[in-house]
Amino acid sequence: MVVVVEFCSKPPLFPCILYGPTCDAFDTFYNEEVQLPELDVGDWLIFPSMGAYSSVMSSTFNGFLPASICYTMGPELRYPKRAQGSELGPGS
């Protein structure tokens, strides 16, 4: 199930198949279409309760780095900290 929040839920919604970044035909998140609004570059899709399964499935196939991991607690995103204390965030 995809939970979509904080967007205008009025039409138009579009049937979408969500693929991962590897350009592999089997790199899909769901086996069915989901309805999503039009997205812009930089928009985030948040998948609650994906857990370690999605981390285990990550790879460096086609030169991609593993995705950044962020933790949520309340409405804020929290990123793991490096040993030196700087935060890891998107693109880090």
Question: Could you give the residue numbers annotated as active site?
Answer: 23
d(CA 53, CA 21): 17
How would you class 86 by CB atoms within 10 Å of its CB: exposed for 0-12, middle for 13-18, buried for 19 or more?
Answer: exposed
Structure tokens at 26: 């089997």
